[in-house]
Structure 1
Amino acid sequence: MPITFDNIAGGELAEKFSMALAQIGRNIIDPNMDPEAARGMTINLKFKPSKAGTIQVAFNIRTKLAGIAKTETVFLIGQDARTGRVEMSEYGNNRPAVTGAYDAVPADPGAHEKAFDPDTGEILEEERRGPIDLRSAR
């Protein structure tokens, strides 16, 4: 029986070739992959003769696929002056307007918000009358 690509190792080489070709095809049509990157396939056959007159053949197929396409965007970041919460949003996108990244100060459920001057951000405190008794503040 003559040796052909289709009958090496009972058709295993041809099957691995088909699987690698399908993998390359899926990579090409995937919209997340770099559309202009070159893909490739390497078929490696290694022949090792023995003194007994036989040849041991090892083979493998490697694919080179495109990586994920590079994408850029712009995020806007700011901090809420009242709560201290840092917020981010993506510029020019129809996604939800604000995503909270983290709270600068953990919210204390028992604490009440203090009034502040919106122009300067200064916290307005109630005027104290008389001296402060530090012994009672324990």
Structure 2
Amino acid sequence: MSTNPADVDVREIALPPEELTEDLDNSAENSAPSPAPREVASLEFLSDPATRETTVDLDHPFRYEGREVRKIRIRKLTVAEVGRAADRNTGDGFDLYEVYAAMTGFPASVLRGLMDDDGDAVVERAYGFLPRAFRAGGD
């Protein structure tokens, strides 16, 4: 027998009388207010740009929204950008392509539409810039 008071058999929990359950309305959306956006400073980083960004030249350039795309720039994210990427990854499970989208400026759907070898090259380079929390095993 457990000594934890939260360990209760659900059959022992009293429910409201049957005639009252018909009057319950649980259809309302969560009305909790969204937190106000936090201030984020715009910083001029002094480190070597090669430690913060890279470019992948595409073997299969494409046209997107009327412009030719021959290379994809990948950059490290700020702490705030990591938080926003994590916030977008709710519901159907975590999707690294949403993080890659923030790193490249292209929607996740565009990155998924790349030819396989270009997609592999972008993902490989981007993976090296991922925060540890987003890498497999947190390495």
Task: Give me the TM-score of the superposition, normalised by structure 2.
Answer: 0.21
* Greater fraction of residues in helix: 2
Task: Pick the structure with more strand per residue.
Answer: 1
TM-score normalised by L of structure 1: 0.21
- Bigger radius of gyration, 1 or 2? 1
